[in-house]
Structure 1
Amino acid sequence: MNRSLELFSAAARVIPGGVNSPVRAFKGVGGSPRFIAEASGAFVTDVDGKRYIDYVGSWGPMILGHAPQSVIAAVQQAAAKGTSYGAPTEAEIQLAEKIIELVPSIEMVRLVNSGTEATMSALRLARAATGRDAIVKFEGCYHGHADALLVAAGSGAATFGVPSSPGVPEGAAKDTLTLPYNDIDALKALFAQRGGEIAAIIVEPVAGNMGCVLPQPGFLQALREVCDQSGALLILDEVMTGFRVALGGAQALYDIKPDLTTLGKVIGGGLPVGAYGGRRDIMEQISPAGPVYQAGTLSGNPLATAAGLATLEAISQPGFYDPIVARCAQLVEGIGQRLDAAGIPHLGYHVGTMFGLFFTEQSAVRNFSEAAKADHERFKTWFHGMLDEGVYLAPSGYEAGFVSAVHDDDLIEQTLAAAERVAKTL
């Protein structure tokens, strides 16, 4: 028995399912998870000593790669002064100012501890600001595990085929209205019928929790239009896409201005963090400036703010994104060429530094229904084949992958060589 399997057995006795976040359990692909001992650069190393080229990147935060020197130094320096104060710090201001500098739609920002906390808080704020209860989300978009958002969710919920989780009261979900992603006609029909009841639309501007599904031309603009017409707020959930698809996020890439934005992952540089921000008149309704309550003991934690600020400073350097975006395209297109040569039907998508792959004969994947029709059995074979080759991909066909600044040309070529070998086994 290998060490990872031993640890998984031990974990299952004390942790539900043996993991602290569902998709890590490999339920979507079979087998047992690799327990990671350490990570550096573009690699993770498991407890059995096997090293993998990593395209999970802690599910997105590690845009600089693992253990970048600047971030580690910033965290060490902060930790030496104390790990948490429960009081304001100058670093919180600096991180907030940097976020506002990089994302023009954000005029004020509140730091929290997770993406779930950010989306949950943003929706409470939107309901308070509009005096309305209903929210609109899209099937397959995952916005964290708050009750009202576990309706037709993606990510781990999609992997397990649970569109809404047991334990979510009907009352918590009754005001959550779901639509197919990229369906402008359904969007307009809903708003024509119920627009006056809707507080907000929340959406992943690039869906990263049903694979990597891109917004169709005009879709994000249609969201902005119906919100403007109805008085609803537009919330872009950029927990994944923020600073991943472009320096200013998906909203910069697609030229769309939301009322509120949720952030996470990259802004913590690998430490637990989240944030929500937007128009000043809305944000000033948050306590203690206004009546909308939200609090957190570790919000603005000095370690997380240090890591986040070091990361944002690094990615703000001129030309930072160009080589990573190019290598992401090289990876996806190269895998596609090798699958084509092996006669394997597929679709590969990429935007900025994130990507996805579907084994399908469909002409496009535009929503969760089409993502669900992909050949997930073939994905399992693909995943384990690549894992055996030393390439660590997300263990679910419903998850995106990520390229970092330290995935150089040589590592991309190594990955493509592995893909060529695995393609022949499919």
Structure 2
Amino acid sequence: MPQNLSSKLFAVAKEVIPGGVNSPVRAFKNVGGEPFFVRRAKGSRIEDIDGKSYIDYIGSWGPNILGHAPNVVANRIHEVAKEGISFGIPHPAEVEMAQKIIDWVPSVEKVRMCNSGTEATMSAIRLARGFTKRDKIVKFNGCYHGHSDSLLVAAGSGALTHGEPDSAGVPRDFANLTIVVPYNDPETLEKVFAEEGENIAAIIVESYPANAGLVFPKPGYLTLLREITQRYGSLLIFDEVMTGFRLGKAGVQGLENLTPDLSCFGKVIGGGLPVGAFGGRADVMDMLAPVGPVYQAGTLSGNPLAMAAGLTQLHELEKNSGFARLDRLGAHFESGLHQLLAEKGMPYRFNRVGSMFCLYFTDREIVNVDDVMKQDLDLFKKFFWGCLDKGVYLAPSPYETGFISLAHTESDLDDTLTVFQEVLQKI
């Protein structure tokens, strides 16, 4: 088969698509070089257009919790598609999905479907502002909630009472309504609320930040978020787009036994198709049109194919004790990696929860994004390309989480560890 087809196609793509990609991380900017193009994927593996196969730890950035193209999901999509692809009218699967989310996540009393995680978080913020009649929100440096204007804001200077636009095209006035604080820093959070509490509509947080690798809260930190929002009459929004329905039926809030006011979901509940959802307290959700004054809409929201794929995937997870199996696979991988890197004698941190993981080349404790930024980025690049050359595809960025699926076998994981060992011996 001809080689370098990906390189040739990427050259064409750059002529017709900005940067040659439809989402920036796909451009491999954080590791240098060029991306490959996928021809097909099945189970734990993907195959590029040059015919090379890789063990995949991206899984479409999280949704493919059963693996790529599971027969049960593909067959269900095919069955539903024969009856219609999109209606723009209510259909039964929307209600079934809403009921499933409510059954699995105790904090959710009502839920609305949308089409992406960005749309879910954007809508939740608007809803929080409408409910509280306040304008400002608090987010955390290193937490990513999609690319809407209010949330694409980086930390400012000084007392962190004003954010700074993190992208061209975001008006400074929008950024001024977003207060950005360091994650895992209770003192700064208390200071911000002491100064601005009566103006803050909500805190939005990736409860386990997974867009700066994978960062865990210090003991009691998430409880503080719950307590401080209640104290000041603000809402607490958990962004569980990535962790929801991957770390258990109730996501992080289930693991931590916490009750946010609103939650945002996506990824797993679409079975690999575009999807989003946000839900929570009934009195808050009833502020949405057509019941209340907060407008939110979507032509393709609750798309029948996405609902069918997501419901089928959730059913399989429940039927086959999927979350327990995923945790066992993750623990097997973690144990082998610790042994390997201990023998190598190099500094590292490995954060894992269930089937989500991130390897950092640093001896620093990972508390927030500042620690993530201080890892050995050059070593990561060498490690990434070495693994890719040997057929293991990790996230092309040191700031992303890896995912294990139910299609991965212990043999896949052991083969991956062997590749890690071979690569580390050469760098």
- Tell me the TM-score normalized by structure 1: 0.96
Q: Does 1:138 align with 2:140?
A: yes
The farther-off stretch of 254-263 and 311-320 is: 311-320
> What is the CA-CA distance between 1:33 and the residue it aligns to?
0.6
> What is the CA-CA distance between 1:50 and the residue it aligns to?
0.5
> What is the CA-CA distance between 1:330 and the residue it aligns to?
2.1
| Structure-2 residue corresponding to 1:228 | 230
The answer to whether the Cα contact below 8 Å between 2:138 and 2:204 also exists between their aligned partners in 1 is yes
The answer to whether the Cα contact below 8 Å between 1:247 and 1:315 also exists between their aligned partners in 2 is no
| Structure-2 residue corresponding to 1:15 | 17
> What is the CA-CA distance between 1:361 and the residue it aligns to?
2.3
For residues 405-420 of structure 1, what are the structure 2 equivalents within 5 Å? 405-420=406-421
The answer to whether the Cα contact below 8 Å between 1:198 and 1:232 also exists between their aligned partners in 2 is yes
| Structure-2 residue corresponding to 1:172 | 174
Match of 2:57 among 37, 55, 58: 55
Deviations 1:122-147 (A, max 9, x none): 00000000010010000000000001
The answer to whether the Cα contact below 8 Å between 2:165 and 2:171 also exists between their aligned partners in 1 is no
| Whole-angstrom CA distance in 2 between matches of 1:304 and 1:228 | 35
2:150 aligns to what SS in structure 1? helix
| Structure-1 residue corresponding to 2:183 | 181
| Structure-2 residue corresponding to 1:72 | 74
| Whole-angstrom CA distance in 1 between matches of 2:39 and 2:165 | 33
| Structure-2 residue corresponding to 1:158 | none
> What is the CA-CA distance between 1:318 and the residue it aligns to?
5.7
> What is the CA-CA distance between 1:335 and the residue it aligns to?
2.1
Say if 1:266 and 1:126 are closer, same or farther in 2 by CA, change over 3 A. same
| Whole-angstrom CA distance in 2 between matches of 1:243 and 1:353 | 11
| Whole-angstrom CA distance in 2 between matches of 1:214 and 1:356 | 11
| Structure-2 residue corresponding to 1:424 | 425
| Whole-angstrom CA distance in 1 between matches of 2:247 and 2:55 | 21
| Structure-2 residue corresponding to 1:392 | 393
The answer to whether the Cα contact below 8 Å between 1:19 and 1:25 also exists between their aligned partners in 2 is yes
1:33 aligns to what SS in structure 2? coil
Match of 2:42 among 40, 43, 55: 40
- Where has structure 1 moved over 6 Å in runs of 4 or more? none
2:125 aligns to what SS in structure 1? helix
| Whole-angstrom CA distance in 1 between matches of 2:352 and 2:30 | 22
The answer to whether the Cα contact below 8 Å between 2:65 and 2:268 also exists between their aligned partners in 1 is yes
| Structure-1 residue corresponding to 2:403 | 402
Deviations 1:124-176 (A, max 9, x none): 000000010010000000000001111128xxxxxxxx970011001111110
> What is the CA-CA distance between 1:31 and the residue it aligns to?
1.0
Q: Supply the AA of the counterpart residue of 1:74.
A: R
| Whole-angstrom CA distance in 1 between matches of 2:219 and 2:319 | 30
> What is the CA-CA distance between 1:317 and the residue it aligns to?
2.4
The answer to whether the Cα contact below 8 Å between 2:113 and 2:275 also exists between their aligned partners in 1 is yes
| Structure-1 residue corresponding to 2:289 | 287
Q: Supply the AA of the counterpart residue of 1:237.
A: D
Q: Does 1:211 align with 2:237?
A: no
2:143 aligns to what SS in structure 1? coil
For residues 269-288 of structure 1, what are the structure 2 equivalents within 5 Å? 269-288=271-290
1:58 aligns to what SS in structure 2? coil
- Tell me the TM-score normalized by structure 2: 0.96
The answer to whether the Cα contact below 8 Å between 2:85 and 2:304 also exists between their aligned partners in 1 is yes
| Whole-angstrom CA distance in 1 between matches of 2:23 and 2:398 | 16
The answer to whether the Cα contact below 8 Å between 1:63 and 1:266 also exists between their aligned partners in 2 is yes
The answer to whether the Cα contact below 8 Å between 1:338 and 1:423 also exists between their aligned partners in 2 is no
Deviations 1:47-75 (A, max 9, x none): 01111111000000000001111111111
> What is the CA-CA distance between 1:343 and the residue it aligns to?
2.4
Q: Supply the AA of the counterpart residue of 2:422.
A: R
1:148 aligns to what SS in structure 2? coil
1:213 aligns to what SS in structure 2? coil
| Structure-1 residue corresponding to 2:159 | none
| Whole-angstrom CA distance in 2 between matches of 1:330 and 1:195 | 45
Q: Supply the AA of the counterpart residue of 2:388.
A: L
| Whole-angstrom CA distance in 2 between matches of 1:52 and 1:8 | 19
- What percentage of aligned pairs have identical amino acids? 53
Q: Supply the AA of the counterpart residue of 1:103.
A: V
| Whole-angstrom CA distance in 1 between matches of 2:336 and 2:188 | 36
> What is the CA-CA distance between 1:250 and the residue it aligns to?
0.5
| Structure-1 residue corresponding to 2:161 | none
| Whole-angstrom CA distance in 2 between matches of 1:255 and 1:326 | 22
Aligned Cα RMSD in Å?
Answer: 1.2
Q: Supply the AA of the counterpart residue of 2:307.
A: T
Gaps of 5+ in 2: 156-163
| Whole-angstrom CA distance in 1 between matches of 2:401 and 2:310 | 22
| Whole-angstrom CA distance in 2 between matches of 1:133 and 1:163 | 17
Gaps of 5+ in 1: 154-161
